[in-house]
Structures are given as C-alpha cells and as structure tokens.
C-alpha cells in the first residue's frame, strides 16, 4: 500500500492496545474514504477501537481526518454570529423545530444540519417533511443566503461534509461498533465542525428512551465531545437532559410539528418549553447575545421566523398537516397515579405504527404516532384515556400495543420527580457542575 503504511499493521497495533500515530490515522481514514482500504479492514479497525478505545490525541486526529475528507463550510461572512445545537436523540424530541427559529429571533444564525430517524428515535427532517412542499436538500449557496436573510436553516448535510463519516457510520451500523463513545463523538463532531459554526450546544439525552441510558455514560460522551470541540477551536457546551419519559405529549412526525408550532405560539408542554429555553440560553451566551428566549416565544417573534424559515425551503407554513386515518386508545385498567410512562416503549410503539423506519430506505407515515394524554404524576380513573395510537394501517395496532406492555405503570402514590436538565458541562470546565434549577 502507499505512503509506507499497511492497513493490517495499523489494525494489529490498535488490537494490541497501542496508540496509532497521527500519520497512520490520517492515512487510514483518507485511504478508506478514497476506496483504497476495503470495508473488511476498516471493520476490523473499528472493532479494535471499540475494544481498546482512542486516546485524546488519537481521537482529535481521527476527527480531523474525517473533517479533512471533505469540505469545510465558511460562515464567517455572515452578519450574525453562528451557533448550532445537536441532540443525541430521544422520543418526542422536537426541540430543534422550536429552537432554531427561537435563537434566530434573538439575533444569532443557526445552521442546523439534521438527519432522518432510524428505529425508535425520530428524525428532524422526517418531521419537517410532513409539511407540504418543504425540502431538506439545499446547496451551500442556498443555505448561507437563508442564514443571512432568515437567521435559521434546518436541512440535510451535503455530501461534501465529512464523507468519511458517512461511510464509517454505515459500516458501524452493521458491525456492532455503534456504541463506542470515541466513534460516536468523532461522528457527531466531525460533521458539526465541518459545518463551520463558531459555537455548539449539545443536548445529551439520559434515560430509557436515550442512546445513553445512565448518567455516567452520558457524562462521558458529553465530556468527550466538549473536549473535541475545544481541540478544534469550537466552543462547546453540553446539557444532560432527562429522557425516561417522552418529551412533550406527541411522538410522530406531523404530530410533533403541531406541538412545536403550539410552543412557538407561547404555549406547548412545560417540559418541551423548559428544555428549549435552557438550550437557547446556552446558545445565546456562547455567542455573546444578551436576550430573553422565553420572551421571544411569548411575543410571537420566534413564530414569525419559523414561518419565514419554512417558506424559504418551499414549505407552506399554513398547510394542513397529514393526519392518520385510524386512531385507537389505550385506557387505564385501574385508578391511581401514573408512576411511569416509559419513553422507549412509547417510541417503539410510534415506530411500529409507521412513524419511523427500520431501514434507511423505508418510507414513513407522516400522520402516525402516539399522543400521550397523561404524564407521570397525573391522577387517573379506570377507563381514562392514557395514550392515542395513530396510524394509516390498522394492522399495525397489535404490534404497537405489544411494545407498550409494562411501559405504563399506575400506582397508589405519586412518583418522585426531578429536573429535566440534569447537568451542564462547559467548554472551559474539566468537571461537570449541576445545572441551574
């Protein structure tokens, strides 16, 4: 092989617990992106990394090599400071729909490059594609023009941004190497750094409906990404937020868009509003803007940006959104207090109703999903409606109900409650500190 490197030697070195040199990493990532290293050899290296990990230096170099595999956007010519947000994914997480126009209404530019859902966690692009006419694919020129004019854009990442990550992501999905924290961090941060934003706020979900089920692993992931941002000159802050219960009251594409619009009008569920305002506050502070995001929700300015953002991408913000043809309810089998509403169970139910996809090429049912009529702590009587199940295909109801077995617990006493924002990690901090309550 070229450049004096051999893929097998690199695989063996990492397999045996050694540290790879910067030139070894640069060559391996570049050669794989160029098709010179085959999938089976990169699969072996990914498994070795999953087993042995990467040192901070290795991870910084690995991420830089992924960025260097494609283009890096230059947003320095915009008249507003740029700041973005990334969520590690949850159930009912429609925060981006509210957050991007909200932060733009406060004076920043938000270049939100998003993805589609896979499995029980939804995708922002799927939600927005339920709006008639809206398009996810924009050229770099269209994206920058919209950022300057509107202040916010939510779109798909172009093929030129970190193309090595696109190949590696697909490979990890089929080789059992998805769970590696260094590989997760490099995947997320390579795209966000290549995007060209000056600052980034991470929403790292913790709980049964999240990729990271416990606080320790979520904290490790957040700290790793904060460190990567610092190493690449991007100011990064992370909020760890609770995801044991679905966020808001809806799970499903058009259902979540309706709830986001309600929130942009100053209403919406309290937990969704709280998380969104907390993230907006961090984003604005990161770029030195002194503004009150809660006020921008209440006075209509955030909703005005939403309308312009949707229209700029071909969507009709006043269009009637898709609705499911069939609705069934899940009712309480006893009286008491809702003690548990499991996010993963509800997310899988929504997926089985058609709101999500099992494979990247699958279509989604935009009207499908779950409406949560209760939250933990709510008092219910026998026969009260707990959930609404929405789908165009009534044959899906049975499997959706199966996923809810044990997901709803009704008890005699109210459950203990905690804050939705659990911790904050900042770019200048080495240790987490409690978030402001």
Cite the active site residues.
Answer: 86, 165, 172, 187, 191
Partners of residue 410 on adjacent β-strands: 338
Phi, psi of 371 (to 5 degrees): -110, 125
* C-alpha–C-alpha distance, residues 342 and 56, integer Å: 35
Closest CA to 12 of 2, 20, 4, 3: 20
* C-alpha–C-alpha distance, residues 406 and 414, integer Å: 17
């Amino acid at each position: 092989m070229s450049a004096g490197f051999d893929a097998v030697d690199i695989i063996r070195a990492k397999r045996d617990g050694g540290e790879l040199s910067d030139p070894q990493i640069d060559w391996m990532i570049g050669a794989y992106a160029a098709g010179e290293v085959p999938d089976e050899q990169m699969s072996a290296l990914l498994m070795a990394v999953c087993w042995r990990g990467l040192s901070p230096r290795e991870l910084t170099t690995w991420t830089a090599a992924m960025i260097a595999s494609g283009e890096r956007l230059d947003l320095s010519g915009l008249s507003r400071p740029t700041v973005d947000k990334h969520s590690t994914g949850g159930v009912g997480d429609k925060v981006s729909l509210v957050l991007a126009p909200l932060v733009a209404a406060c004076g920043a530019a938000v270049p939100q490059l998003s993805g589609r859902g896979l499995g029980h966690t939804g995708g922002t692009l799927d939600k927005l594609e339920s709006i008639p006419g809206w398009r996810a694919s924009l050229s770099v020129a269209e994206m920058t023009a919209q950022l300057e004019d509107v202040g916010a854009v939510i779109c798909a990442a172009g093929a030129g941004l970190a193309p090595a990550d696109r190949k590696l992501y697909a490979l990890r999905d089929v080789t059992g190497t998805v769970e590696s924290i260094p590989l997760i961090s490099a995947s997320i941060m390579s795209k966000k750094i290549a995007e060209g934003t000056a600052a980034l706020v991470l929403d790292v979900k913790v709980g049964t409906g999240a990729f990271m089920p416990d606080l320790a692993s979520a904290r490790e992931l957040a700290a790793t990404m904060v460190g990567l941002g610092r190493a690449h000159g991007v100011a990064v802050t992370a909020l760890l937020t609770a995801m044991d219960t679905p966020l808001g009251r809806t799970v499903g594409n058009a259902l979540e868009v309706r709830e986001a619009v309600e929130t942009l009008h100053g209403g919406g569920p309290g937990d969704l509003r709280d998380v969104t305002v907390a993230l907006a506050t961090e984003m604005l502070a990161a770029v030195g803007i002194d503004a009150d995001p809660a006020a921008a929700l209440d006075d209509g300015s955030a909703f005005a940006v939403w309308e312009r953002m949707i229209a700029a991408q071909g969507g009709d913000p006043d269009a009637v959104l898709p609705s499911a043809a069939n609705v069934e309810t899940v009712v309480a089998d006893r009286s008491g207090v809702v003690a548990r509403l499991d996010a993963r169970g509800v997310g899988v139910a929504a997926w089985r109703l058609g709101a999500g996809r099992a494979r990247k090429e699958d279509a989604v049912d935009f009207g499908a999903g779950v409406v949560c009529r209760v939250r933990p702590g709510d008092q219910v009587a026998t026969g009260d409606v707990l959930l609404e199940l929405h789908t165009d295909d009534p044959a899906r109801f049975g499997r959706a109900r199966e996923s809810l077995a044990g997901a709803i617990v009704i008890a005699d006493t109210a459950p203990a409650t905690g804050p939705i924002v659990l911790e904050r990690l900042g770019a200048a901090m080495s240790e987490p500190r409690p978030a402001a309550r």
